[in-house]
Amino acid sequence: MEMHTDVLLVTANVGSLFDNVGEIEGDWLREFFMTVHMHKPRFVALHFQEVGGKDYMVNMGHADNFFWTIESSSEMDDFDRVCVYVDSNFRAVDSFTALGSMYFIHKSLKNIQQYDFNVKEFKAVSGHNKYMGSLEGVTTIEKEKFPKNFWPDFKWSRKGYMRTRWLIHNQGLDLVNVHLFHDASNLIACNSSPSVYSANRKKALRYVINRFVYSPFFASFYMPYINLCHSLLTSLSFLCLCFVLLHIETKLFAYLHQAVFRENNGKELLKYDKEISAFHDVITEEEIHFPPSYPYSEDYTKPTQYMNTRCPAWCDRILMSHSARDIIHRREEGESGVVYNTLGSNVCMGDHKPVFLFFPMKTITH
């Protein structure tokens, strides 16, 4: 007999929360808890990138408080099983990714198991399980920092992936938290299309996908800049003469009119969002109906304004294999169904707006 289990997946680059400790966190958490209250999921996955922020050696001490605030909140009382994984050991240079993943299981969800990659079998989940540090020896996750030879001409940074595997009412799925390479320079990104940065991201994404292609998977991505910069410069060359004044430097993307990225949620620009198209043979995505998720102002009073650092783009995404898309239940018109959107559209959430996917998942009972 087919059942449906409501699932909430959230991907969030939280570097700004740690770089501005205490200034953004309260509203960020309220927006997340409101989303949980609104959709009432039975399984919640929170995938974080850049835990600790840019100055992670100083800020990582706040990580435990941040994750504990979520885990112990009264808003999450109905979730009686919790699994937390935070790669926070920045001294382990060869493996540090600054990724964090949290999973919440509602008390009404009885038939759920998590995979142990060491003994290669599913096991029951009970209580609160929290792992912070290097995560070496933790057998319920797979974590890897991307090999240095993926981008030999650039500084090796905390980019990689973290995977967990679940069995919910006899339906298995992988959940993958991925942080891909950013565009270090707007000028270099504009030199060619696709850019050298885009090529690096493509290599890393293919590396990840090849590991999970045989099982249904959802992957939350931080995909910086999506190579919009060069495409927009080409497509807006006439508009630049008319009303858009651009000033571009290595870390400056200054322009007069932000409306072009807001009107109709930036739909006219989505055609230049091409990096994922190379993977359509194995992955897909729900239709985007929200404006670019980055780079928003970190000024508390300007929650809807973009910073003039990068070309606004849909950097934060939740992608899925085609087999994973098949297990999403599409409800009848008028029923609460699939929602793919940002958190905190009118609230300062840092430079990234978190992106969430809520959906009823088809599960099987005997």
The predicted-structure confidence for 235-283, as pLDDT tens digits, reads as follows 444 444 444 577 888 888 887 778 888 888 988 888 888 888 888 988 8
72-81, 102-111, 227-236, 303-312: lowest mean pLDDT where?
227-236
For residue range 303-362, what is the model confidence (pLDDT) as tens digits? 999 999 888 889 999 999 999 999 998 877 656 689 999 999 999 999 999 999 999 998
Q: What is the pLDDT of residue 222?
A: 61
pTM score: 0.91
Look up the CATH number of the domain holding residue 22.
3.60.10.10
CB atoms within 10 A of CB 11: 28
Residue 261, domain extent: 4-362
Which stretch, 137-146, 212-221, 232-241, 254-263, has highest mean pLDDT?
A: 137-146
Nearest to 101 by CA among 58, 71, 72, 65: 71
Q: What is the mean pLDDT of residues 170-189?
A: 87
Q: How many domains are contained in the chain? A: 1
Q: What is the pLDDT of residue 227?
A: 43
End-to-end CA distance of the chain: 6
